């Protein structure tokens, strides 16, 4: 299965983004209100400059205390982000996420964000593939050719 199939199956294929100057407390509010685990940091809403996750916020809270909530997200964001394209295979994306120990990957086409894939999306895609393979194998075993 390809990333484009994952994006089509998602209820909301938009990418939630904040600007680099957004305060961490405001980004945390977006995460809570949208019930999501990450926001992409982007000046224009189309190009990814970084990514900020719940984990990033919690780690910095532990290190710097509540004052971190008044910092701009660009101070906390991960700058070296991994991306994929619509034509990438879902299992390759899952492998990259697992090896890199991250859970969100922006989908980029022609330099612009077109979606966001989570590790949950990739796992669901893989489970769907496995179920289809299982059904096909059972059908071959039980059919009367």
> pLDDT digit string (tens) for 64-100?
999 999 999 999 999 999 999 999 999 999 999 999 9
pLDDT digit string, tens, across residues 24-39: 999 999 999 999 999 9
State the average pLDDT for the chain: 91
Cα gap 50→72, rounded to integer Å: 12
Tell which residue, 52, 33, 34, has the closest CA to residue 42: 52
This prediction's pTM: 0.82
Using an 8 Å Cβ cutoff, are 127 and 91 in contact?
Answer: no
Question: Which residues constitute the domain of residue 112?
Answer: 3-142
Antiparallel, parallel or unpaired: β 38-41 and 50-53? antiparallel
Q: State the pLDDT at residue 145.
A: 62
pLDDT tens, residue by residue, 49-72: 999 999 999 999 999 999 999 999
Number of domains in the chain: 1
Q: Which among 111, 129, 29, 113 has a CA at the least distance from the CA of 73? A: 29
**How confident is the model over 127-143, as a mean pLDDT?**
83
The percent of residues in the chain predicted with pLDDT above 70, rounded, is: 97
Residue 13 pLDDT level (bands cut at 50, 70, 90): low
Q: Which helix (H) or strand (E) holds 112?
A: strand 112-118
Q: What is the pLDDT of residue 136?
A: 83
Provide the CATH number for the domain around residue 106: 3.10.580.10
Task: Count each helix (H run) and each strand (E run) in the chain, helices first.
Answer: 5, 5
Give the mean pLDDT of 110-123.
Answer: 92
């Amino acid at each position: 299965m390809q990333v484009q199939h994952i994006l089509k199956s998602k209820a909301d294929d938009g990418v939630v983004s904040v600007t680099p100057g957004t305060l961490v407390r405001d980004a945390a509010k977006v995460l809570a209100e949208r019930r999501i685990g990450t926001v992409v940091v982007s000046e224009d809403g189309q190009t990814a400059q970084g990514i900020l996750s719940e984990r990033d916020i919690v780690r910095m809270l532990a290190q710097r205390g509540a004052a971190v909530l008044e910092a701009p997200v660009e101070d906390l964001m991960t700058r070296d982000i991994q991306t994929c394209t619509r034509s990438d295979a879902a299992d390759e994306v899952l492998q990259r996420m697992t090896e890199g120990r991250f859970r969100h990957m922006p989908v980029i086409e022609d330099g612009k964000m077109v979606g966001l894939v989570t590790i949950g999306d990739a796992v669901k895609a893989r489970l769907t593939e496995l179920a289809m393979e299982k059904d096909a194998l059972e059908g071959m075993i039980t059919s009367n050719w």
